[in-house]
Amino acid sequence: MKSTPISLIAGVVALAAVTGLAALTVPGGEGVVEAKAAARLPVERSSLLCPAPSTSDVAETTYTSFTPAGKDGGEAGAAELKPADPLPADEDAPADEEKTEGDEEKADADEEKVPDGKPVISLKDLGKPATADTSKSDAPALVGTATGRLAPGWTAQQTTTAAAGGARGLLGVSCTAPDTDFWFPGASTGEGRQDYVHLTNPDDTAAVADIELYGAEGPLESAVGEGITVPARSSVPMLISTLTGEAAENVTVHVTTRTGRVGAVVSAAEDEVGSDWLAASADPAGTQILPGIPADATSVRLVAFAPGEADADVKVQLLGKTGPLSPAGNATLHIKSQMTASVDLKDVTRGEPGSLRLSPTDGSTTPVVAALRVVRGTGAKQEVAFIPATGPVGERASVADNRAKGSVLSLTAPGETAEVKVTASAGSGGGEATAKTYTVKGGTTMEITPEVPAGLKGGYALTVEPESGGPVHAARTLTIAEGGVGMFTVQTLPDDEGAVEVPAVEQDLSVLDD
């Protein structure tokens, strides 16, 4: 007759582990099974993936790896980014009938470039970034893992400067965590654009991915976007315009996996304008925040998509220095289901930094995804960057690869006023960390130039930690002058997910006594 109480106890323990706090008094009052509230503990392992940086012969790429200083203790661990494996040779390619002496020398040189599995960059210390550089046009994608005390909040930045050519620009991207679902509003298959989806597989088995494209009139026909195999620990770039015969200026790209997981990011190069990476939008939601529009933006284009079965009507607001305002003539945007909507907001910031908020006009929660195409400069001195919708900072977020000059941080409080601590880390080559707290008024965007660490040598990282008040969204703009062009890139700072909830369960086994 003890089977019923024991089964009941087991069920309640399982339920308590899910709900966080529960208690049960067993019939007769002989024992109590109790589950404590879930504790937030640091993660023990993190994964990051960086796409192949550039095929340009004049490009210079810097990798920066960083884990913010946290509580002492925990395993020492490691944080390394290694080259992805080369793709298998095309078995259908014709073999060379004969090779000249020059061909053999070139083949020998190529063999020397084959990744040998050694880390491109290794992080040794908390609170101090590590850096590495390459100028190779065939630099591979990177697959990275951090363990132990280096895992919580680990971030890596890939920054490429291409001074000339069709891909001229400053291309920056925060290396991404692997996942199974990505949305990229703001891509294009139009004339003058060369956009690639980079898919990187971190695991030891192949992944299979699908790529769907949506234009202004709905899905774009594609016979080759399904069942794309990404070999184990390898990276596959797909030119978006080859996936469909339809040219569309504004396209939403949806990447999903049938098996496995990948890191996904889009490289976008626009003739006579510039190039940059387009990171994935935050997950579909009724309200989206797009932070960090530079004050001197000369053109801002909003691209949005409603992935559900219902249309979405959203209110468009610029959160500026003094509060929210609606762009003239573009106070609302109607987004038809499964169709990409876009609107040219021109120089919406009008000399002041700002962020964009999309929210339902009728109180509904129809989910949307969104991104901004931002241009600075005019004529031959134009440069482009992309700002995807991003989640709040949460507990903490960091962005690596900041320089002594050219870094600007945007902090947006879409709701209540917030107190935010900003820490500039020690430099990669020396210097001492410094921290300062800022008050961001509700409904506004604050743009700050971070205090450079004392004695800075090399680059440094920025860590944002809200201390009180409402949620905060953040973005960092990095600007580098090259050939008279103010080349720039923008990275958003969502929560670093350095901690996870772990339910704690206790049980009183005395109930099993006779």
* Full-model pTM: 0.87
pLDDT of residue 8: 34
Question: How many C-beta atoms surround the C-beta of residue 468 within 10 A?
Answer: 11
Average pLDDT of span 323-349? 96
3-class DSSP assignment, residue 345: strand
Of 467 and 107, more confident? 467
Which of 1-5, 63-67, 191-195, 249-253 shows the lowest mean pLDDT across its residues?
A: 1-5
62 within a domain of the structure (yes/no):
no
Q: What's the whole-number average pLDDT of the chain?
A: 88
What is the helix (H) or strand (E) element at residue 222, kind and residue range? Answer: none
Residue type, 149: R
4, pLDDT greater than 50: no
Residue type, 147: T
459, pLDDT greater than 90: yes
How sure is the predictor about 109, in pLDDT bands with cuts at 50, 70 and 90? very low
13 within a domain of the structure (yes/no):
yes
Closest Cα partner for 313 from 357, 355, 365, 348? 365
180 within a domain of the structure (yes/no):
no
Q: Which of 345, 369, 388 is the endpoint of a domain?
A: 388
90, pLDDT greater than 80: no
Dihedral Cα 45, 49, 50, 55, nearest 10 deg: 150
Of 296 and 500, more confident? 296
pLDDT of residue 483: 81
What is the helix (H) or strand (E) element at residue 16, kind and residue range? Answer: helix 3-19
3-class DSSP assignment, residue 423: strand
Q: Write the DSSP assignment of 113-161 as a string of letters.
A: HS--S--SEEE-STTS-EEEEE--TTPPPEEEEEEGGGSTT-EEEEEEE
Of 13 and 470, more confident? 470
Q: What is the pLDDT of residues 468-505, one digit of tens each?
A: 999 999 999 999 998 889 999 999 999 999 988 887 65
Q: What is the number of structural domains in the chain?
A: 2
118 within a domain of the structure (yes/no):
no
How sure is the predictor about 391, in pLDDT bands with cuts at 50, 70 and 90? very high
89 within a domain of the structure (yes/no):
no
Q: Which of 370, 388, 406 is the endpoint of a domain?
A: 388
pLDDT of residue 420: 98
Which of 51-55, 161-165, 275-279, 437-441 shows the lowest mean pLDDT across its residues?
A: 161-165
Structure tokens at 43: 């993660």
- Residue 395 per-residue DSSP state: T
Q: Which of 348, 366, 388 is the endpoint of a domain?
A: 388
378 within a domain of the structure (yes/no):
yes
How sure is the predictor about 363, in pLDDT bands with cuts at 50, 70 and 90? confident
What residues make up the domain containing 9? 3-42+503-512
pLDDT of residue 223: 81
Q: What is the pLDDT of residues 15-40, one digit of tens each?
A: 333 334 334 344 444 444 455 667 88
347 within a domain of the structure (yes/no):
yes
pLDDT of residue 72: 56
Residue type, 89: A
CATH number, position 315? 2.60.290.11
How sure is the predictor about 365, in pLDDT bands with cuts at 50, 70 and 90? confident
3-class DSSP assignment, residue 471: coil
With 0-12 CB in 10 A as exposed, 13-18 as middle and 19+ as buried, what is 355?
A: buried
Distance CA 110, CA 112 (A): 5
197, pLDDT greater than 70: yes
Question: How many C-beta atoms surround the C-beta of residue 222 within 10 A?
Answer: 17
Residue 328 sits at φ, ψ, to 5 deg, of: -60, 125
Residue 104 sits at φ, ψ, to 5 deg, of: -65, -40
63 within a domain of the structure (yes/no):
no
Which of 108-112, 122-126, 216-220, 486-490 shows the lowest mean pLDDT across its residues?
A: 108-112
Range among 95-99, 110-114, 220-224, 380-384 rated most confident: 380-384
pLDDT of residue 107: 39
pLDDT of residue 203: 97
Average pLDDT of span 236-241? 97
